[in-house]
Structure 1
Amino acid sequence: MKRAGLVGLFAVVLIAVAGGAGAVWNEYLRAPAPRMLALPGDLIPLDSPLGRRLLAESERADHDELTGSFVPQTRKAYCGVASAITVLNAAGIADAPRDPRALFAHPHAGPGPLKTSFKGMSLNGLAGLLRAHGAQVDVVFASATDRASFRQRARENLRREGDYLLVNYQRADLGQVRMGHISPVAAYHAPSDRLLILDVAAHRYPPVWADLDKVWTAMRAPLNKKTTTTRGYLVVRGAHTVSAASPVGFDRR
């Protein structure tokens, strides 16, 4: 092949590689552009007359600390990262990180920002990251407990200051875009049996009141088609917070 042909071929390869790299960057590594998505009718936005009324009537011991420490996710798969930063600061952890760089700077921070950007974070992975920063964490897989136990644990948690609830759920079961997700829970409204999810994907969805039964179903969803391991929830406390009794399903792996 003539030199000009080789140069042309090399240029085509470079353009293809650069284009692919650009697509990867935009999909996984770039801060997502704001584009709010429509909510299904049974999710009640907090910023609505009904949403505000439910908050006024709810058990909400964690609400003010969580909203005061809230940070949105800055990459597509950073829901666990944003949730971790939010609860570590809400719990008053000493030297709690304020951004992803500080979160991953800990020597025992786990898989790191690049792998997390592409694969997200498991419940155990998120628990390990939180523990590395000094938090106490209970890991509960939905398959190891039941709906009534989750309701009781959530209600007790949201009546009491100092411990925080993170849920890992399949969005599709709430009528949203199909994707696994993690976010803090800030309140429980007993008359309607709804949880207030502070969605860290604030560029797509607002904080919403979701039916607890549907949140439970969304946590029962397997992680993928190749496993029976389900999603679930974490209870996070500061290092010196008095712990409640460990729930059924406390993960010791």
Structure 2
Amino acid sequence: MFLRICRSCFMKRILIKKLIGNFALIFSILAVCVSVAAVSAEKNGVADVWEEETESKEEVSTLPIIVIDPGHGGADCGAVGINGLLEKDVNLRLSRLIQKEFERVGYKVAMTRTEDILLTDEGVAHTTKKSADLAARVKAAEKGDIFISVHMNKFPEEKYSGAQIYYSVNNEKSKTLAEMIQKAIVNGLQPQNNRVIKSGEGLYLLDRIDIPAVIAECGFLSNGAEAELLKDEEYLKSLAFEIFSAIDDFVVECEWE
């Protein structure tokens, strides 16, 4: 009886193998037919059109391009922290982490700078370098759909701390974007932060950018405890994630197309 069962199982395995082999043969024949058809179509000038259409469909993305602007750079170090931390360096580190979060899920990101530089030509006079740098950042904003400039804050008194977001009045969506970023940072990292968003009217960048735009002052380098946090890579990663999450939620809420 045992031998019969084994033989039966063995025969079934042979049958299955034959069926698999037949399917493999059928798929092989189909593959050859498709290849022949493709060659024939290419000779008739059809394949090129199909390939172009396929490529164009793959390139289409409904996600907005995010412009990230690490404030200051080069000769302009920005604020200097109570612990010697330079604002330009923190801005760049945090901006790169935000960039990684966006690119991880398929967004295209345009960075105004990726190294320690001012956005000016070598021939620009020292007295006009700052204005030329700011003008270049405004120009860079034209490459995208959403703009965020990353900065750190400073005040003579050490007691002040916490992020605060400024928004452009040129686009009605900027205020919503600022509110969402402020809320995300407070809820995720700074529960004691009672700061509110502010209009960026009068600020060079926000006055000249028409897309949804904000300046994120992400913390006070003049506050000892916060300055130490802003040195910490893990804290910066968390901060980057909160900023990314807020902007991503903003895109969803706006039903971006």
**Rg larger for:** 2
Higher helix residue share: 2
Relative to the length of structure 1, the TM-score reads 0.28
Structure with more of its chain in strand, by fraction: 1
